[in-house]
Amino acid sequence: MSMLNTLGLFALTAVAEIVGCYLPYLWLKQGKSIWLLLPAAASLALFVWLLSLHPTATGRVYAAYGGVYVATAIVWLWLVDGIRPSHWDLLGAAVALFGMAIIMFAPRSV
């Protein structure tokens, strides 16, 4: 799997997880419809399926995915919550992505 495909799959996975958690939040904290739980469940099922598509050890995938999740959550902060990320937010996301790159793309014998 190419580096670009891996990053895209991780980003799509992160969006599925965030949506799956955000919709129940809207119901619980903002009084939105309980029917939001149906697409939330579907989004979380999509999240799990997308994680299964990576052709490497699950522990490595989960660890690396965390870095992409952090960066995606910062983009969500800006685009959905309407809060511009600080320099510290961006630096933290960059460090997380760097960690993901080390985990996923380091040369391995196994």
Sequential DSSP letters for 14-46: HHHHHHHHHHHHHHHHH---GGGHHHHHHHHHH
Amino acid at 3: M
Cα–Cα dist 110/103, whole Å:
13
Q: Is there a contact between 68 and 87 (Cβ–Cβ < 8 Å)? A: no
pLDDT of residue 34: 97
| CA angle (31, 36, 38) in 5-degree steps | 150
Percent pLDDT > 70 in the chain is 98
Percent of the chain having pLDDT more than 90? 70
How far lies 53's CA from each of 20, 30, 76, 85, in Å?
19, 34, 23, 31
Q: What is the pLDDT of residues 40-89, one digit of tens each?
A: 999 999 999 998 898 777 888 888 889 999 999 999 999 999 999 999 99
Q: Does position 110 have pLDDT exceeding 70, yes or no?
A: no
d(CA 45, CA 64): 20
